[in-house]
Amino acid sequence: MTNDVAEARPGGDAAYGASLTPKGKIILDVFAHRASSDVNDGNDDPSPCFLLDVDRDRAEEVGVVARARFRVFAETKHFRVADETNRRTNARAQFTRNLRRMSLRKKVIITNESETYDVVVRSPNADGGDGARARADPRTRALGYRDARRRDDATMTTTRESVDLAHARARARLGVAEGWREMEGAMPLECNLDALRGVSFTKGCYVGQENTARQRFRGATRKRVTPFAIRGSNVSIERGTKIVNERGDVVGEVLMTSAPPSASAGTGTETVEEETLGLARARVEFIRERVAGAPGSIARVVDGPEIDVRVPEWWPERFLFDEDETS
C-alpha cells in the first residue's frame, strides 16, 4: 500500500492509499479503517486490527493479481475485509484466500467480515444524527464522511443507491477518482494521490515505490485526473472515450460521467442542475493551456459534444506551475 496504515488510529479517519503493480501502476485503491477494538491474542499488547474497504467490483480479480505479483510485509497481525457490497460469496472468499497467501515475516490473521460490516458514506452536511461520530473521508473533508460500520448498526438507514449517486456526483465535481474502473493502470500521482493523503514518501518499501518516488522527484507527472462538465442533463459518454483539443490532438480520456438529479428529486428550494459532470485523465500541459485561455484549448470528446475541463479548487499550485513540462 502506498500509504502507512499507522495513519489510521482508533476512532480516527482511515488511511487511504493504493496497491500497485511492480511498475507502479494502480491495481485498486484501499481504505484501511482502524477497528474500534484491537485483538488480544494472549499478549499484553493487543494486535492492531483493521477493516479493509475495497472496490466491490474487483475483489476476485485483485486476489488473483496480488497472489502472482507481490506479498504483504505486515507489521499488524489482524485484518478484516469489509467489502462495500452484496458481491458474490465466492468472490469475497477468493479475495480473502489470496490475502492470506501474501503474508510474510509477521503472523497475519485475515477474516472475511463482509457479511458483518458495510461502508457508509455521507456528505459533509448530511442529516442523520451521527455525523459527529462518523469518520471523515481521509482524502478531503469536502467528500464528507466515510466509515466501516456493522450492518446491525441502527444508524445505517440510508438507501445505498441514493448514496452512491450523490457520492459519485460529489467526486465528479471535486475531481476525485475512486475504484479500479477509474484508476486501474494509472500512476498514483496521475490520480492526485499525492494531494489526497494517499501516498507516503517516508514509509518503508512497497511494491511500485521506486517509480512513484521517481515520478515525484523528477516532477514528471504528465497527466492528472480533473473534472469536466457538459451542458445538458442527458449526456452519456463511455469510459475510455478520447478527448481532443481544437487541433484534433488527443489530450485525455473520459473516466466517468454523472448526470444531475432529476427535477422530481428537488424539494422546491433547490436549483435543478443542468450539467452532466465527469472525470477525465488529461494532459497537464493541456490543463495549463485551458487555465490560461490559450488558443486551441477548447476540448470536446471524439464525435461528441464540447466539454468544459476544470481545475479543482483544492489543487496545489505546483500541479500547474512546478512540474516538468518537457517530460
Same domain, 132 and 239: no
**Mean pLDDT for the stretch of residues 129-147:** 77
- pLDDT score recorded for residue 160: 55
- pLDDT score recorded for residue 43: 54
The three-state DSSP-derived secondary structure of 17-52 is EEEECCCCCEEEEEEEEECCCCECCCCCCCECEEEE
Same domain, 93 and 10: yes
Q: In this structure, is residue 293 part of a structural domain?
A: yes
Same domain, 146 and 262: no
Q: In this structure, is residue 209 part of a structural domain?
A: no
Sorting pLDDT into bands at 50, 70 and 90, what band is 223?
very high
Assess whether pLDDT exceeds 80 at residue 127: no
Q: In this structure, is residue 45 part of a structural domain?
A: yes
Same domain, 229 and 291: yes
Sorting pLDDT into bands at 50, 70 and 90, what band is 264?
very low
Same domain, 12 and 94: yes
> CB-hemisphere CA count at 13 Å for 134?
25
- pLDDT score recorded for residue 88: 43
Which of 123-132, 138-147, 157-166, 263-272 has the highest mean predicted lDDT (pLDDT)?
138-147
Q: In this structure, is residue 212 part of a structural domain?
A: no
What would the grid cell of residue 85 be?
457490497
**Mean pLDDT for the stretch of residues 280-289:** 94
Q: In this structure, is residue 225 part of a structural domain?
A: yes
Report helix angle 89-101 to 59-69, nearest 10: 20
- pLDDT score recorded for residue 16: 94
Q: In this structure, is residue 230 part of a structural domain?
A: yes
- pLDDT score recorded for residue 288: 92
Would you put residue 125 in left (φ > 0), alpha (ψ -120 to 50) or beta? Answer: alpha
Pairing verdict, β 306-309 and 223-231: antiparallel
Q: What is residue 11's DSSP assignment?
A: T
Beta strands in the chain (DSSP E): 15-20, 26-34, 49-54, 72-73, 78-83, 103-104, 109-112, 117-122, 145-150, 223-231, 242-244, 250-258, 275-283, 299-301, 306-309
Per the model's pLDDT, the better-predicted residue between 314 and 47 turns out to be 314
**Mean pLDDT for the stretch of residues 208-232:** 89
Q: What's the pTM value of the predicted model, to 2 decimals?
A: 0.80
- pLDDT score recorded for residue 73: 33
- pLDDT score recorded for residue 259: 75
Same domain, 233 and 94: no
- pLDDT score recorded for residue 64: 44
What is the tens place of the pLDDT at every residue in 235-246?
A: 778 999 999 999
Boundary-marking domain end, from 191, 209, 235: 191
Give the domain range for residue 76. Answer: 5-191
User: Average model confidence (pLDDT) for the chain?
Assistant: 76
Q: Any idea which residue has 516538468 for its cell? A: 324
Same domain, 148 and 253: no
**Whose CA is closest to 21, among 37, 40, 2?**
2
Boundary-marking domain end, from 138, 171, 191: 191
Same domain, 291 and 172: no
Q: How far apart are CA 237 and CA 259, in angstroms?
A: 11
Same domain, 141 and 238: no
Which of 98-112, 117-131, 132-146 has the highest mean predicted lDDT (pLDDT)?
132-146
Q: How far apart are CA 317 and CA 325, in angstroms?
A: 14
Q: In this structure, is residue 17 part of a structural domain?
A: yes
Same domain, 12 and 161: yes
Which residues are CB-neighbours of 273 under 8 A, at least 6 positions away? 233, 260, 261
Instruction: Give percent of the chain with pLDDT exceeding 90.
Output: 29
Q: In this structure, is residue 65 part of a structural domain?
A: yes
CATH number at residue 256: 2.40.30.110
What is the tens place of the pLDDT at every residue in 34-75?
A: 876 655 555 555 677 888 888 766 655 555 444 333 333 333
Q: What's the full length of the chain, in residues?
A: 327
Least confident of 188-192, 226-230, 233-237, 269-273: 269-273
Same domain, 21 and 167: yes
Total domain count for the chain? 2
Assess whether pLDDT exceeds 70 at residue 319: yes
Q: How far apart are CA 72 and CA 57, in angstroms?
A: 22
What is the tens place of the pLDDT at every residue in 160-204?
A: 555 667 888 899 999 999 988 899 889 999 999 999 999 999 887
Same domain, 131 and 225: no
Boundary-marking domain end, from 138, 173, 191: 191
